[in-house]
Structure 1
Amino acid sequence: MKIELKSIKHAAFASQETECYSASLWVDGKKIGTVSNEGHGGCDSFHGDWEAYRKADEWCKANLPKWSLNADTDETHDTDLEMRCGELLSDWLTARDLKRAMGKKILFRKPDGNVYEIAHKGQKDAAIAMIQRDHPKAEILNTMPLEDALAIYRTIGAA
């Protein structure tokens, strides 16, 4: 089952205990409604086709990895549709932040595993050439497919 959030609106200024957002919820290519959270710590709200929501929720519980609050316990919980929406929102925010960072900077990872950044000041190609010259083994996130760059970006805790 393909679950997506589209038309995401995020209000960082209003996010307190939870993310304040609204989005269209799509399941298998069909919009089933809207999901939102006011950012004050409560559950997400859903408006739309409740039967489709229930089916997607059951699918998530049956097919997505279980999670635990504490690694020292055997107690696990189902990943429900609300949690999946939270994961999708988090992924969207991380991708947005990476794209913004790459718009102003060149991000690269050296063989030591650390990620560095330099402002390119409108001279992307020159900055990339300089990094390649000075650090030939560096991986330049700006030149990678987005998914590959995101995998590295997530490891630095920048998101």
Structure 2
Amino acid sequence: MSTINLEYESPYSGFYNVFGSQFVCFSTQPQLQSWKLEQAINADTICRGLTEFYYDTESGRGHFILPDSSLSPTGHHTLRYPLPNVVTQRTVYRWQDRVRDETHTHIATGAHGFESLCCSEMLAEMVEEAQMTTNGKVTCPLCQIIWQDCRAFEPCDFMVTGTDR
């Protein structure tokens, strides 16, 4: 998990008077993934509910609209990027004559975003999305163990070829 620095420019003042919204321009480092950047900016309380997001990966400049807002997010901001993805699942396991029913918030992985890091859904008899108030905190002990074990690796420890990531 890392952070990025965003510099919000002064919003165009006439836009709010005409449309009741703010047109906000920003600049940050180039080559970020646009959808992840939009998620990170939208998670910031100042910019929650943004629409019409645009980011140029080459220049690192972009803009968005804050509907029905008179907030002014000008200046320097530091955001978490990318945001941590979690998934809350109710999982039922059956082994011999015993049934185990668990609900945990897991670290989400995979292309679909609903697979857990610990792969708890692989051996389960039933998996369903669940609601839990954890404020994005991981409650699965196995996900935590796997995450701690993997933290020793750095990007220089990998030599993966033939992937588009």
Per the normalisation by structure 2, the TM-score is: 0.31
Q: Rg larger in 1 or in 2?
A: 2
Pick 1 or 2: higher relative contact order, CA cutoff 8 A, min separation 6. 2
Per the normalisation by structure 1, the TM-score is: 0.31
* Structure with the bigger percentage of helix: 1
